[in-house]
Structure 1
Amino acid sequence: MTDAKTWMCLICGWIYDEAAGAPEHGIAAGTAWAQVPMNWTCPECGARKEDFEMVEL
């Protein structure tokens, strides 16, 4: 995957890194944010996918 992006939960600050994925939460490494299911929620606070924003680390 090139240019993997990082997304942050605006509610609690949990970070989703496309390169790392979230395998412990059902999202394989290398999964682009656009491919994360719409019904997926933040593993820390339960926020919806639309409560995440792309961040530059």
Structure 2
Amino acid sequence: MTDAPYKTWQCRTCGYLYDEAAGDPAEGLAPGTRWRDLPDDWVCPLCGTPKADFDMAEL
């Protein structure tokens, strides 16, 4: 069984994109880190918006 395709999530406040495939190494998130694996208290690194206020982006 293969994992589902990687997804991208967008901050509703500032537009920051979190790409699961790329991760965010500057924030300590390795490439391949799934959205579900980010802590519930994770916030946008640009504006501080909570994880709950991100939407999956269809790119």
Q: Could you state the TM-score of these two structures normalised by the residue count of structure 1?
A: 0.93
Does residue 54 of structure 2 align to residue 43 of structure 1?
no
Q: Which residue of 1 aligns with 2:5?
A: 3
Runs (5+) with no aligned partner, structure 1: none
Q: Secondary structure at the match of 1:12?
A: coil
Task: Please tell me the root mean square deviation across aligned C-alpha atoms, in Å.
Answer: 1.1
The percentage of aligned residue pairs carrying the same residue is 53
Tell me which structure has the larger Cα radius of gyration. Answer: 2
- What code does the residue aligned with 2:51 have? K
Q: Which residue of 2 aligns with 1:54?
A: 56
